Structure formats: structure tokens, C-alpha cells
Amino acid sequence: MKANEMRTKSVEELNQELVSLLKARFGLKMQLSTQQSNKTSELGKLRRDIARVKTLIREKAAQ
């Protein structure tokens, strides 16, 4: 998801998005550790999305 799309969301919606991304990251890490998946690049994408959401939450809290 693009940062511009996320900027229109409220803090509550961003927190929900963060929780879903963290769950997805956990699931992907489990799949990678049990060798059920070989999508290692997805882990990096999820990490960047998590960082993007956390940054936007912090920006909104500072305002």
C-alpha cells in the first residue's frame, strides 16, 4: 500500500492495518522456517509496510 493512500486513514484504521501486517509477517516467518514457502522477498515488503504504518502513526500523534 502506498503512503499517500495510508495518509487518508485515521489512527485507529492505521492501528488495525499494523496488527494485520504483523500477523501476516508472523505467518510468513513460520512458513519460511518450516520451508512451506520460498517467498523471501515478501518478508522485506512486509517489514517496509510495517515501518511505513508506524511512521504515519507517529506523525499523526505528533500533530
Give the chain's domain count.
1
pLDDT attached to residue 1: 67
pLDDT attached to residue 6: 86
**Percentage of residues in the chain with pLDDT exceeding 90?**
76
- Give the Cα separation of 50 and 19 in Å (integer): 9
What's the pTM? Answer: 0.88
- The pLDDT tens digits of the residues spanning 29-53 come to 999 999 998 888 999 999 999 999 9
What cell numbers appear for 23 in the block?
A: 500477523
Rounded to 5 degrees, φ, ψ at 10 are -85, 175
CA distances from 19 to 13, 34, 46 (A): 10, 23, 12
CATH number of the domain residue 13 falls in: 1.10.287
The whole-chain average pLDDT of the chain stands at 92
Residue 18's domain comprises 3-62
